Amino acid sequence: MTLPISSELVQQLAALSSAQLAWLSGYAWAKSEAAGAALSAAVAVPAAAITAAARKVTVLSASQTGNARRVAEEVLVKLKDAGINTQLMAAGDFKSKNITDEDIVLLVTSTQGEGEPPEEAVPLYKFLFGKKAPNLSQLSFSVLGLGDTGYPNFCQAGKDFDAQLAKLGAKRLLNRVDCDLDYQSTAAQWQDKITAEVAALVHQGGDAAVAVANAAVAAPAQVFSKETPFSASLNIRQKITSRYAAKDVEHIEIDLTGSGIRYKPGDALGVYYQNNPILVAEILQHTQVAKDAPVRLVNGKEVSIETALLNYLDITQNTPALVKTYAQWVAQNDLREMAADAAKLNDYVTNTPPMGVFAAYPHVLAAQDLHDLFRSLTPRLYSIASSQEEVGEEVHITVGVVRFEHHGKIHTGGASGYLGERLEEGGAVRVFIEENNHFRLPENGGTPIIMIGAGTGIAPFRAFMQQREANGDSGENWLIFGNQKFTDDFLYQTEWQQYRKNGLLNKYNFAWSREGSEKVYVQHKLHEEAAEVWAWLQRGAHVYVCGDAAKMARDVELALLGIIAEQGKLSIDDADDYLNELRENKRYQRDVY
């Protein structure tokens, strides 16, 4: 008699690997025998499987832009396919004190700001480097760092975590691996090596028994992703600073019709941009490379150098590596001497775009050599400034167009110049959603929130307010916003005034840094409202900060620490613990860049 099999069971079986199916087949056969009398040694679960089940691996993802999370998801699949009991956790969901209960931890971490850990990993970082740092002699670990060699403190967060875990007694399973922007190949090698290392540790030299995975990796919620972006179109571009403003900030509306893409307030929009054709032509002119000369990309694809410079290479961001390499090719001692001095080199790179180097020191290059000077173009991420409950199949972002003068010529940022100037309304733009589950509104709509932002950092708070209005949330809302001038730079002014008028915005403070004799920033407004900030915290308020990581966000954090210490009558160390606890409980969240 043939028994029917449910479609759900068929789907679950399809998700298993061949090794898992083989084990399951033997297990099911054994269970079918009466009292196990005919159980064959060939299908019995080896003792090593018991060892495997007893050991547990936690893959910790500490991500800023999503790359670390993707690498962590990939190694999770490889470990599960090897029959290893593995769980994946975002660092933001991991309780730092629980690390003493862990057996094997594989940490995949990116870097932000000046070599600091990504926002979601700050509590763990503070715990490991704090006064209450634990003994971790029971722990085995490995660290994979993701970074950018264009910055001085390359993969510093990964280096710090790796060194501190070892210092606290943990056993390093594999030497730390550092990945640059083109991380895929290096990360894949680490995944394979650490899977083999963990498998050897778990199985203790026995047969590599494979346990059936209890849960398959969930399918992505949408088809479009960083690897397969959606070809959207530009609906509207509108300047929202005055004609007299020092900054050009553009409100951008992008049409997602037909994509099925869903996003939440707090998420980011990834944008693939095209470089300026005029800039490409100038680079080719100064290096005397024919535009149709063939080059091979990092992925092995062959295209013309013009196509590579337009679509595949980051030609607006200078790097120390570019200057050092180029200096070896040109017969200019001053450039070579400067490249050999770290301080002078960093200053030069900061203030000189690649085009500036070629213009000052023109030199004939081979097409492939020109290609190899640049890093691969990576998508830019922008905080989403809309709620889908308000705008439907659209997504809004707030773009500050980067412009600067170098040797008499005006240059623009790669992505901001594309979105804010060159892309025409109706033009196609490739986009994807980068989820940010660590910058979310409170689940309880009655919870008060404090939103602190400067410049384009106001973007996610516009989305927050749209969402809270659509939900009918009763929680109080307080905005603390800073920019240069009230008359020129009050972004989304009429909308905030309307929220105030209808009662959704309960409290606001504005800091205008270019009005009056003294510069006033958001941290100054926080100090002025110290007692009120503390009162809101005591009522359970969630605090959100969005803006520049190196300056604004750091100054705001120092202000909050001072307020907590003063108003709560705590020492600075205890105030730091208080703020870190807020962070772990998702009551203090930052979206910084």
Nearest to 497 by CA among 512, 513, 481: 481
Q: Could you give the CA distance from residue 586 to residue 436 in angstroms, rounded to a whole number?
A: 13
Question: Could you identify the residue written with the tokens 């972004």?
Answer: 491
What pLDDT is stored for residue 379 in this prediction?
A: 94
Can you tell me the distance from the alpha carbon of 221 to that of 226, in angstroms, rounded to the nearest whole number? 13
The CATH number of 45-203 is which of 3.40.630.10, 3.40.50.360, 3.30.70.1400, 3.40.50.2300? 3.40.50.360
Q: Which residues of 278-292 are buried (b: 16+ CB within 10 A; e: fewer)?
A: ebbebbbebbebeee
pLDDT for res 517: 83
Q: How would you classify the pairing of strands 268-272 and 380-383?
A: antiparallel
Q: Provide the 3-class DSSP secondary structure of residue 174.
A: coil
Distance in angstroms (rounded) separating the CA atoms of residues 522 and 411: 30
pLDDT at 223: 78
Within 13 Å and on the Cβ side, how many CA atoms surround 470?
15
Neighbours of 328 (CB within 10 A): 9
Q: Which DSSP string corresponds to 50-107?
A: HHHHH--EEEEEE-SSSHHHHHHHHHHHHHHHTT--EEEEEGGGS-GGGGGG-SEEEE
R_g of the chain computed on alpha carbons: 27
**H or E stretch covering 261:** none
Class in CATH terms, 230-273+379-434 = mainly beta
Q: Is 452 helix (H, G, I), strand (E, B) or coil?
A: strand
**Where is 272: in which H helix or E strand?**
strand 268-272
Domain residue ranges in the chain? 1-42, 45-203, 230-273+379-434, 277-376, 449-592
Please list, in sequence order, all residues whose beta carbon lies within 8 angstroms of the beta carbon of residue 421, skipping any fewer than 6 positions away: 401, 412
Q: What is the model's pLDDT at position 1? A: 42
How far is Cα 208 from Cα 203, in angstroms, rounded to an integer?
6
| Exposure on the CB side of residue 260, measured as CA atoms within 13 A | 6
CA-to-CA distance for 591 and 509, rounded, in angstroms?
Answer: 20
- Predicted local confidence at residue 520, as pLDDT: 94
- The runs of H, that is alpha helices, within 402-553 are 414-417, 459-471, 486-489, 493-501, 522-528, 530-538
Torsion of CA 576, 577, 578, 583, to 10 degrees: 90
pLDDT at position 352 is 92
Task: Kindly report the backbone phi and psi dihedral angles of residue 547, in degrees, each rounded to the nearest multiple of 5, phi listed first.
Answer: 155, -160
pLDDT of residue 408: 79
Task: Residue 464: name the closest of 593, 556, 589 by CA.
Answer: 589
Tokens representing 559 are 């202000």
Is it true that 45-203 and 449-592 share their CATH fold?
A: yes
What is 449-592's CATH number?
3.40.50.80
CATH topology classification for 277-376: NADPH-cytochrome p450 Reductase; Chain A, domain 3 (1.20.990)
**Do 234 and 429 contact (CB within 8 A), yes or no?**
yes
- Give CA–CA dist 133/130, Å, rounded: 5
The identity of residue 557, as a single letter, is E
pLDDT in tens, the chain (593 residues): 444 444 455 455 555 444 344 334 433 433 443 334 333 333 344 444 434 447 899 999 998 888 899 999 999 999 999 889 999 999 988 989 899 999 999 999 999 877 889 888 999 999 999 888 999 999 999 999 998 887 778 899 999 999 999 999 999 999 999 998 888 889 999 999 999 999 988 876 444 333 333 333 444 445 799 989 999 999 999 999 999 999 999 999 999 999 999 999 999 999 999 999 999 999 999 999 999 999 999 889 999 999 999 999 999 999 999 999 999 999 888 999 999 998 999 999 988 999 999 999 999 999 999 999 999 999 999 999 999 999 999 999 999 999 988 777 888 999 999 999 999 999 999 999 999 999 999 999 999 999 999 999 999 999 999 999 999 999 999 999 999 999 999 999 999 999 999 999 999 999 999 988 889 999 999 999 999 999 999 999 999 999 988 899 999 999 999 999 999 999 999 999 999 999 999 999 999 98
Give percent helix, percent strand, percent coil of the chain, each to the nearest 5: 45, 20, 35
> 325 is written with which tokens?
């390499």
* pLDDT score of 222: 52
Beta bridge partners of 87: 58
